[in-house]
Structure formats: C-alpha cells, structure tokens
C-alpha cells in the first residue's frame, strides 16, 4: 500500500526506513531476543544505543567537546521551566532573563520563566501578529541577564531566524525543536540549544539538550534532581530510567540522516521543498501567507484560503489525495504544511499539484 504524505507539525512523519527497521527489530533487537522496550536502561546493550545516538548527533551538528549532550524525558514545553531553574542561578540576584517574543512558543517560554526570574521582553513582533523577526538592532537587552532566550523557528506562526544573534558574553539559549538538523549551526555561538525530538529528530517522549559545560552546576535550589543538568551530565543522561524506546528511535533517525548526506543535504532539500510551496502560494489568488519573506520558515508553512468557507472542502480533498494533517493550529486557523527532514520532495510536489487543481476548480 502506498503511504500517504503526513504534513503534521508534530508528532511528525518519520523516515519510512526508520519505521521499517523499528518494526523488524520490535520483537528481537539485534538477535538479543527482546525488544528495546523491554531492555534494562543499565544494560550494555542500551548503553551502546544511547552512546551511538550521542556520537551521531555530535557528528551531524559538529558539537564541540566543550558541550554536553543530554537526553531527557522533559518535553520542550517542560524545558521552559527546567532551563531557567538550571541557568538562572548564574546571573544576578534576583535573576533576569532576556526574551525575544516572536510567537506562541517563545510566549509560552517567557510566561513559564516568570516563575523563576524577572523577565525582560527585549523585543517582540506581537504588534505585527508575529509575522516577522525583530532585527537585532531593535533589541533592548539588559546588561547582566542570566541568558537570552529565542525560539529560532516558530511552528505555529511560521517564522525562522536566518541569523545568529550576537549576545556578547551573555549565553544565547535557543529552542530549535522544529528545525534542528535541517541546517548547519555554529554551536559555539550558543550557550544552550534544546529540542523536542518529535518534529525533526524522532518520536515523542525525549528531548535533547546541548549545553556548554560552564553553564552546568548553576541550578536553583528548587530544581528537581532528575532535571538538574549536573545530575544528567554526571550520569550520562541515565540519572533515572530514561525513555529508552524514544532514544532508540532518535538514534535510528540520526543514523538515517548520516546516510542521506547529513545536515548539508537536509538544508538543500529544505530550501527546495519550501521554495516549491511558497512559489505556489505567491503565484495564487486563492492562497496567502502573511509572513515577511525574509524570515519565512522552511519547516512550517502556514497559509490561508482567501475564501475561508472552502477550507473543509480543501482538507477533505487533500486527505482523499493522501495529503494528511494540513489543518492549521487551532489558535490561528487556516492551513499549515510542515516540511521536516522526513518529508520527501515528492510529497511537496504532490501537495502543490493538488493546490493548483483545487484553485482551478474553485
């Protein structure tokens, strides 16, 4: 049976080769007679899985040895609390955190951080309905912030940073959940990068934190031990029982990415896929995208029908054609196509062909 194309924003499509390998190893991982789901997290077998996943991620993103890679059960949303609990102790008392507010996810982050520190909104695109990234020249950063927080790709609003902010000696923290591994990153310009796996790196249940060593050991007393980066680092992400199967799937995705040519190949594909879809939207009189062209996300493309009464017909026709989960986020409405690494060019080509035919007939 031909599989449909899944445009979900997350949990998102996984590479078919990964799903096939996971299925083949479900009952018997590498001749051991058990599933990874049944495997002790203290075993040598699981140790080989998590260490290989860490190595492959370090290779793919060229992560320097001065950074630790942590796998944690905390979701990216939970990390909005975990990160200030870990980093706020490094700054002044009371702690201050600078935020750049560019959409729903950076907004959720700053609200959560207010429980642990004073938040300074250094810049915001709220007045423009989050359709752009404020230029750094307009940011009002504080002098002694514990760190500066950005969401470098907003899945709901469809904006993406195409520059790396210069925050001087203040650590830059970035939520890269929705575009990690889709383009090269200069890791050393960040103090901490975090990402939920279920969009571009694996399945729901595990998040990855890449953190500079000198930012570890500054946790507030309120931080639970299981989420203290010192504890996670000391125990190589196995302070308690980790999400073993989610880490296994993450490892398979990282291996697949290497086989495809790594991050440079993913970036080339992302440029091609997003250009196909944006060109279709821009040439249309039915579809519209309001995001500033200088910061349109390559991963998440929201678009709207000029005649909203056609939305249900559009979605029904799309599903009939094997184009799934295109409905926009409930907070914005409209449509959204997520073009993560696992989405092949053929899927976007089929979507564009459907959109053009729908416009022709409506």
Q: What distances in angstroms separate CA 257 from CA 53, 62, 160, 196, 260, one per listed residue?
A: 12, 14, 22, 17, 5
Sequence-ordered list of residues with C-beta below 8 angstroms from that of 186, at least 6 positions apart, any chain: 164
Axis crossing angle, helix 262-282 with helix 345-361, rounded to the nearest 10: 10
Strand, coil or helix: what is 342? coil
Q: Check 29, 90, 98, 199 and give the catalytic one.
A: 199
CA–CA distance, 339 with 250 (Å, rounded to integer): 18
Is 199 a residue of the active site? yes
Is 154:136 a contact under the CB 8 Å cutoff? no
Q: Check 175, 228, 256, 273 and give the catalytic one.
A: 175
Is 81:116 a contact under the CB 8 Å cutoff? yes
Is 310:238 a contact under the CB 8 Å cutoff? no
Determine if the pTM surpasses 0.85: yes
**How much is the CA Rg of the chain, to the nearest whole Å?**
21
Is 114:135 a contact under the CB 8 Å cutoff? no
Q: Check 105, 228, 256, 273 and give the catalytic one.
A: 105
Q: What does the CA dihedral 54, 60, 65, 71 come to, rounded to 10 degrees?
A: -30
CA–CA distance, 40 with 35 (Å, rounded to integer): 10
Question: Sheet containing 335-338: which strands, arranged edge to edge?
Answer: 287-288, 300-305, 335-338
Is 303:297 a contact under the CB 8 Å cutoff? no
- What one-character DSSP code corresponds to residue 124? E
User: What pLDDT does 59 receive?
Assistant: 98
CA–CA distance, 73 with 80 (Å, rounded to integer): 13
Check residue 334 and give left, alpha or beta (phi > 0: left; psi -120 to 50: alpha). Answer: left
User: What pLDDT does 91 receive?
Assistant: 65
CA–CA distance, 290 with 281 (Å, rounded to integer): 10
Residue with tokens 């959109």: 355
Long-range interactions of 119-128: CB distance < 8 A, separation 24+: 120/96, 120/145, 122/98, 122/148, 124/100, 125/101, 125/159, 126/101
Kindly provide the b/e burial profile for residues 274-300, where b requires at least 16 CB atoms within 10 angstroms of the residue's own CB. beebbebbeebebbebebeeebbbbbb
**Joined tokens for residue 243:** 């999400």
Residue with tokens 């196995």: 238
Average pLDDT along the chain, 362 residues, taken 10 residues at a time = 90 97 95 92 92 98 98 91 90 86 92 93 94 95 93 96 95 97 97 96 96 93 92 89 96 98 98 98 96 97 95 96 94 92 98 97 93
User: What pLDDT does 74 receive?
Assistant: 86
User: What pLDDT does 217 receive?
Assistant: 87
């Amino acid at each position: 049976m031909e599989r449909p194309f899944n445009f979900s924003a997350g949990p998102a499509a996984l590479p078919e080769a990964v799903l096939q390998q996971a299925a083949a190893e479900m009952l018997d991982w590498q001749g051991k007679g058990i599933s990874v789901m049944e495997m002790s997290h203290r075993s040598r077998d699981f140790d080989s899985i998590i260490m290989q996943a860490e190595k492959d991620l370090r290779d793919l993103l060229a992560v320097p040895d001065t950074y630790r890679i942590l796998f944690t059960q905390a979701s990216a949303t939970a990390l909005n609390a975990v990160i200030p609990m870990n980093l706020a102790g490094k700054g002044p008392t009371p702690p201050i955190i600078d935020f750049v507010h560019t959409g729903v996810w950076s907004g959720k982050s700053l609200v959560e951080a207010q429980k642990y520190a004073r938040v300074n909104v250094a810049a915001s695109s709220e007045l423009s309905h989050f359709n752009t990234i404020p230029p750094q020249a307009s940011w009002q950063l504080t002098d002694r912030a514990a760190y500066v927080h950005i969401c470098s790709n907003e899945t709901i609003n469809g904006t993406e940073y195409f520059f790396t902010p210069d925050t001087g000696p203040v650590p830059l923290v970035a939520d890269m959940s929705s575009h990690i591994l889709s383009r090269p990153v200069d890791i050393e310009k960040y103090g901490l990068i975090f990402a939920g796996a279920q969009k571009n790196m694996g399945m729901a249940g595990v998040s990855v934190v890449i953190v500079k060593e000198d930012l570890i050991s500054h946790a507030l007393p309120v931080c639970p031990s299981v989420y203290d980066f010192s504890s996670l680092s000391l125990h190589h992400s196995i302070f308690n029982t980790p999400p073993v199967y989610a880490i296994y799937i993450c490892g398979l995705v990282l291996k697949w990415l290497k086989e495809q040519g790594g991050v440079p190949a993913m970036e080339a594909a992302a440029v091609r896929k997003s250009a196909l879809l944006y060109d279709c939207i821009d040439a249309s009189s039915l579809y519209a995208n309001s995001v500033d062209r200088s910061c349109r996300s390559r991963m998440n493309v929201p678009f709207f029908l000029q005649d909203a009464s056609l939305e249900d017909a559009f979605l029904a026709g799309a599903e009939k054609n094997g184009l799934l989960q295109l409905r926009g986020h409930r907070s914005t409405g409209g449509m959204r196509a997520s073009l993560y690494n696992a989405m092949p060019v053929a899927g976007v080509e089929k979507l564009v062909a459907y959109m053009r035919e729908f416009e022709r007939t409506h």
